[in-house]
Amino acid sequence: MAPNLSPIETAKFAAARRAVDFVEGGMRVGLGSGSTAAWMVRCLGQRVREEGLKITGVPTSDRTAALARAEGITVVALEEARWLDLTIDGTDEFDPDLNLIKGGGGAHLREKIVATASDQMIVIADAAKEVAHLGAFPLPVEVVPFGWQTSKALIEEILVSLDVLGREVTLRMKGDVPFTSDEGNRILDLHLGRIGNARQLALVLNQVPGVVENGLFIDICDRVVIGHGDGRVELRDIATGSSEEDRIDFAAPENVFDDLG
Ligand SMILES: O=C(CO)[C@H](O)[C@H](O)COP(=O)(O)O
């Protein structure tokens, strides 16, 4: 295990550390959001400072943008970069086909736009994020504030007609006030239990007036790097079906945690 890190943080760090090996000089890189993605941004920053790696980062949240700048990574908006070589991001769940539920941090709208504007998406995750079926993690749906109750009622009607176990829909709160996304919207969390047909649900949800984007990422992720608490990493590639194992050497000089804190 890495010094001063819990097994779960070690797993997240290991996945992030291995994933940044796929970044090459000159690349335009989508920078995901969340705690695993934050490790990735720190590891990339370390390569920028120590190797002189030249990349341009497109952050998926205001928080990631601030961290990337602090790490010395050149940051531009997607409007400027237009098309990206690679996006590396975390996830809340991934299934055997590398379909995802994202948005636990409320950033899935920008995350989906950035990932789909990329030649390749690599997901980094601790092993607990792997599921046989999506849906245990509440599915985030971003809605505009205007008439959000109407959007919620329409979503509840849709859930009755679809193959889902749970139908509870809750407005995400931050303390006493509704959570607001970076785009100024609300998040509804759908407590589904198990999603039978994720592809269908993703399409249907985005037809509801007021819905901006849902957290289902279908056929977007190309590769997953799964980290374990002992520093092992598994790499799975959806196109080739290949799977390989690796290990992060925490004693290696480049993995200095004081630098990454
Ligand atoms: O989708 C996301 C944010 O919208 C995150 O990638 C997801 O919630 C995973 O976060 P963490 O790495 O902290 O577990």
User: Which tens digits make up the pLDDT trace of 219-248?
Assistant: 999 999 999 999 999 999 999 999 999 999
Q: What is the pLDDT of residue 250?
A: 81
On whether 102 is known to bind a ligand per the annotation, the reply is yes
For ligand 1, the distance from its centroid to the CA atom of residue 38, given in whole angstroms, is: 10
Determine the atom of ligand 1 nearest the C-alpha atom of 108.
4
What amino acid is encoded at 223 in this protein?
A: R
**Which residue's alpha carbon is nearest to atom 10 within ligand 1?**
34
On whether 30 is known to bind a ligand per the annotation, the reply is no
For 86, 99, 243, the CA distances from 80, given in Å and listed in that order, are: 16, 28, 35
- In contact, 127 and 227? CB cutoff 8 Å: yes
Query: Please, what sign has the CA dihedral across residues 154, 193, 111, 132?
Result: negative
Lowest mean pLDDT among 42-56, 91-105, 158-172, 201-215: 158-172
For every residue of 64-77, DSSP letters joined together read HHHHHHHTT-EE--
Segments of the chain assigned to CATH 3.30.70.260: 139-215
Closest CA to 90 of 217, 208, 200: 217
For ligand 1, the distance from its centroid to the CA atom of residue 57, given in whole angstroms, is: 18
For ligand 1, the distance from its centroid to the CA atom of residue 216, given in whole angstroms, is: 13
Q: What is the pLDDT of residue 164?
A: 79
Determine the atom of ligand 1 nearest the C-alpha atom of 90.
6
Determine the atom of ligand 1 nearest the C-alpha atom of 12.
12
Q: What is the pLDDT of residue 184?
A: 98
Instruction: Report percent pLDDT > 90 for the chain.
Output: 90
Q: What is the pLDDT of residue 162?
A: 87
Burial class, 98, CB count within 10 angstroms (exposed 0-12 / middle 13-18 / buried 19+): buried
| pLDDT > 70? residue 61 | yes
* Those residues with Cβ within 8 angstroms of residue 69's Cβ, 6 or more apart along the chain or in another chain: 75
Query: Which residues does the annotation mark as catalytic?
Result: 111
Q: What is the pLDDT of residue 207?
A: 98
Third-level CATH fold of 139-215: Alpha-Beta Plaits (3.30.70)
Asked whether 227 lines ligand 1 (CB < 6 A), one says no
Task: Tell me the CATH class for 7-131+219-260.
Answer: alpha beta
| pLDDT > 70? residue 153 | yes
**Which residue's alpha carbon is nearest to atom 8 within ligand 1?**
104
Q: What is the ipTM of this complex?
A: 0.99
For 78, 138, 229, the CA distances from 118, given in Å and listed in that order, are: 10, 26, 30
For ligand 1, the distance from its centroid to the CA atom of residue 160, given in whole angstroms, is: 28
User: Reduced to 3 states, what is the DSSP secondary structure of residue 206?
Assistant: coil
Segments of the chain assigned to CATH 3.40.50.1360: 7-131+219-260
- In contact, 248 and 256? CB cutoff 8 Å: no
DSSP 164: B
Asked whether 35 lines ligand 1 (CB < 6 A), one says yes
- In contact, 248 and 17? CB cutoff 8 Å: yes
**Which residue's alpha carbon is nearest to atom 6 within ligand 1?**
90
| pLDDT > 70? residue 15 | yes
